[in-house]
Amino acid sequence: MSFTKVILGTVSALAMTAVAAIADPAIIYDLGGKFDKSFNEAASNGAAKWAKETGGKFREIELTSEAQREQALRRLAENGNNPVVMTGFAFASALDKVAPDYPDTKFVIIDMVVNQPNVSSVVFKEHEGSYLVGVAAAKASKTGTVGFIGGMDIPLIRKFACGYVQGVKATNPNAKVIQNMTGTTPAAWNDPVKGGELAKAQISQGADVIYAAAGGTGVGVLQAAADAGIYSIGVDSNQNYLHPGSVLTSMMKRVDVAVYKAFKAGADVKPGIQVLGLANGGIDYALDENNAKIFTADIKAAVDAAKADIIAGKIKVHDYMSDNSCPVE
Amino acid sequence: MDKMPRWADVFLVPFINLILAFVVSGLVVLAIGENPFKAIWIMISGSLGSTSGIGYTLYYATNYMFTGLAVAVAFHARLFNIGGEGQAAVAGIGTALVLLAFDWPYWWLAMPFAIIGAAVFGAAWAFIPAYLQAKRGSHIVITTIMFNFIGAALMGFLLNGILKNPDTQNAETVAFPKGAHLPTVHEVLSPLGINFAKSAPLNVSFLLALACAVGVWFLLWRTRLGYQIRAFGQSETAARYAGIDAVKITVITMLISGALAGMLSINVVMGEQGRLIKEFVEGAGFVGIAVALMGRSHPFGIVLASLLFGMLTQGGFELMWDMPAISREMVLVIQALIILFTGALDNMVRDPVERLFLRMRKRKG
């Protein structure tokens, strides 16, 4: 097996892929991996839904190292995949570098804004959804104390916390909100043990509804809440099914919808910034048979009223990331 | 002489290890319903069959050379430095501080200072475990691995605090000045009319790694210090009797080891990322142990072994690309099997081969 043979073989293989290149969409998952029960998995579900509906094919790739971000982007673009969707803000600098080299390829980045003529940036109004679950938490709480457990301490998660506190305070101005962040490193997204400990600490301080915005860490929070017989609130995906009767509701960030829409638009994805919020169904709260009993008509009425007011613009929920501060504590 | 010939020790045993590893990984690939020969072919052609593939392979190999040399130097003094991960991470802070301190006009001006910054920080992180080992007898395996965690925590603290780029969600610094950008192979070769893949992150740090390999060889086998290190590793009591200062040798060896591990940050932080990110070492510190074991702690062997591990890393990516049935975790299993066979199970092959050679020699005799 000589080296020249290797080269010849690869050249011919490359030539073949160049011919076979079709504008299939593609998705790159972040280092957390495809099956993280949260953000990346939601994206994967959106892609799967598109494939099921259209019968189309798509390429997906998981990363194992930072250097592969750029490598994967270039490979997909050179392979003719269009659009190329990526989940997570960590892709921003790699995309900013790669996008100008492939002007005919459309890139879609979720959770971050990248200003390039062929990039569509999808961001969510998480503060609106967090406000709604804050209203629900205040309504459901008997002690007047509710909790928030975030994942990694970054502005994005503070945005969740700030919206939540606003919703709680708007419903019950005397309510107390206990806030904790799990950590300051990406490991904080996947530390269910610590999540459970934080939840127990909050419960001992009187919290009887806890909102977990912490990726995989939230699984531990929800478990601790179920064990203690109090309510919890899930995040990103609909997590009501995890502990029926304990998970009050879930703040749904429809990453799946974003991916689905991008795949459906194909190469005609519009560049620029897309904001998904309550008004266009990109953000919502979850109501299904698992929480129908505990999510009472009283709570539902209050939450739906707040939802209508936010959509109508009557309630303005402050976005933490607009000025890196929160008006309420 | 009751030893097998040198060529068997250096080449034959690792080769048999490798074949065994490929056979077992082949069975794993077969078990999930893919063609193992095709998988191996994809890994080889994906890592060596294009300039882009070669660029990535050598880029990863550069990392493994640095960490492999770091482990090897310590190993010659019978010190098991498994803190390469933490030493490289902390060295990244040194590199970043140097590169962010000035608006560097030229890379060749910035690089020596970045190397000093990385070496000082990497060595400093190895100094405390070395001191504790030499003076207090705290076992270096325990302390270096603990320092990996402390190093990760320190990185998290700094990158979420004073060093953080306020414009992003990521725990990372602002980009280094443009002048501090290390030329990639593409940039070096394109004026010569050679078209090397633009995306490949291989940069001039590769030459630094080769220089380090030569330097380590020279240090260990051509200097008085190297002799002391090796003598100390062979027998501490004999070395002491010969007047070698155990504390001094332990500390100096670990300083050199930490500085070598720190060079990884030149390749990744300065060369590839152009900014300091949190998790840039990505296990290279641990792969370095396998590289040093496979390379028999000799710089030449380490260069070869790091090329192999570079191929595994890059080939693994190509495998995921061409065989979607093989997931990220499967690639990890295959890489781990190769490390297992070449590193941990080395004696499983070595002893029978050695006995075989001895028996053959007896018969001849």
In this structure, the answer to whether residues A232 and A317 fall within a common structural domain is yes
| Residue A6 belongs to some domain of the structure | no
Cα–Cα separations (whole angstroms), residue A229 to A180, A197, A218: 20, 15, 16
Q: Out of B160, B275, B316, whose CB is closest to A153?
A: B160
pLDDT of residue B363: 83
| Residue A191 belongs to some domain of the structure | yes
Whether residue A184 and residue B156 make contact (CB cut-off 8 A), yes or no, is yes
Looking at chain A, the whole-number percentage of residues with pLDDT higher than 90 is 63
Length, in residues, of chain A: 329
Residue B283 has pLDDT above 90, yes or no: no
State mean pLDDT over A33-47: 84
For the domain that residue A100 is a member of, what is the CATH number? 3.40.50.2300
Alpha carbon distance B307, B35 (integer Å): 25
Into how many domains does chain A fold?
Answer: 2
Alpha carbon distance A260, A269 (integer Å): 11
State mean pLDDT over A224-237: 93
In this structure, the answer to whether residues A232 and A248 fall within a common structural domain is yes
Whether residue B199 and residue A71 make contact (CB cut-off 8 A), yes or no, is yes
Q: At what angle do helices B246-262 and B51-76 cross, to 10 degrees?
A: 170
The mean pLDDT value of chain B amounts to 90
Question: What's the pLDDT band for B66 if we cut at 50, 70, 90?
Answer: very high
ipTM of the complex: 0.76
Question: What's the pLDDT band for A17 if we cut at 50, 70, 90?
Answer: very low
State mean pLDDT over A200-220: 93
pLDDT of residue A18: 42
Whether residue B175 and residue A92 make contact (CB cut-off 8 A), yes or no, is no
pLDDT of residue B345: 79
What tens digit of pLDDT does each residue of A162-183 get?
Answer: 999 999 999 999 999 999 999 8
In this structure, the answer to whether residues A108 and A224 fall within a common structural domain is no
A133: closest CA among A239, A243, A248?
A248
Q: Which of A261-265, A322-326, B133-137 bottoms out in mean pLDDT, i.e. has the lowest? A: A322-326
User: To probe the interface with A, which of B150, B155, B277, B328 has the most A CB atoms within 10 Å?
Assistant: B328
pLDDT of residue A16: 43
The answer to whether A156 contacts chain B (CB < 8 Å) is yes
Answer whether B21's CB lies under 8 Å from B311's CB.
no
In this structure, the answer to whether residues A159 and A304 fall within a common structural domain is yes
**Which residues in chain A touch residue B50, judged by CB atoms under 8 angstroms apart?**
7, 10, 14
In this structure, the answer to whether residues A45 and A171 fall within a common structural domain is no
Whether residue A64 and residue B316 make contact (CB cut-off 8 A), yes or no, is yes
pLDDT of residue A14: 45
pLDDT of residue A7: 47
In this structure, the answer to whether residues A215 and A311 fall within a common structural domain is yes
Question: What's the pLDDT band for B64 if we cut at 50, 70, 90?
Answer: very high
Q: Out of A10, A90, A93, whose CB is closest to B49?
A: A10
B282: closest CA among B7, B26, B75, B63?
B63
The answer to whether A80 contacts chain B (CB < 8 Å) is no
**Which residues in chain A touch residue B168, judged by CB atoms under 8 angstroms apart?**
89, 92
The structure's pTM equals: 0.82
In this structure, the answer to whether residues A63 and A178 fall within a common structural domain is no
Whether residue B169 and residue A71 make contact (CB cut-off 8 A), yes or no, is no
Most confident of A103-107, B197-201, B350-354: A103-107
In this structure, the answer to whether residues A175 and A35 fall within a common structural domain is no
State mean pLDDT over B68-76: 96
**Which residues in chain A touch residue B317, judged by CB atoms under 8 angstroms apart?**
64, 68, 71
Whether residue A92 and residue B170 make contact (CB cut-off 8 A), yes or no, is yes
Q: Which of A301-310, B267-276, B345-354 bottoms out in mean pLDDT, i.e. has the lowest? A: B345-354
| Residue B226 belongs to some domain of the structure | yes
Question: What's the pLDDT band for A22 if we cut at 50, 70, 90?
Answer: low
Residue B90 has pLDDT above 70, yes or no: yes
Residue span of the structural domain in which A315 resides = 127-252+296-323
Task: Count CB pairs under 8 A between chains A and B.
Answer: 82
| Residue B57 belongs to some domain of the structure | yes
Residue span of the structural domain in which B229 resides = 51-327
pLDDT of residue A1: 39
Into how many domains does chain B fold?
Answer: 1
Residue A290 has pLDDT above 90, yes or no: yes
Nearest-Cα distance to chain B for A10, in Å, is 6
**Which residues in chain A touch residue B160, judged by CB atoms under 8 angstroms apart?**
153, 184
What tens digit of pLDDT does each residue of B52-63 get?
Answer: 899 999 999 999
For residue B285, count other CB atoms closer than 10 A to its CB.
28
- φ/ψ region of A188 (left if φ > 0, alpha if ψ in -120 to 50, else beta) reads alpha
For chain B, where are the alpha helices, taking DSSP H only? Answer: 6-7, 13-31, 36-48, 51-76, 84-101, 107-131, 140-159, 185-189, 205-222, 224-234, 236-241, 246-262, 264-265, 284-294, 299-322, 328-339, 346-364
Answer whether B310's CB lies under 8 Å from B47's CB.
yes
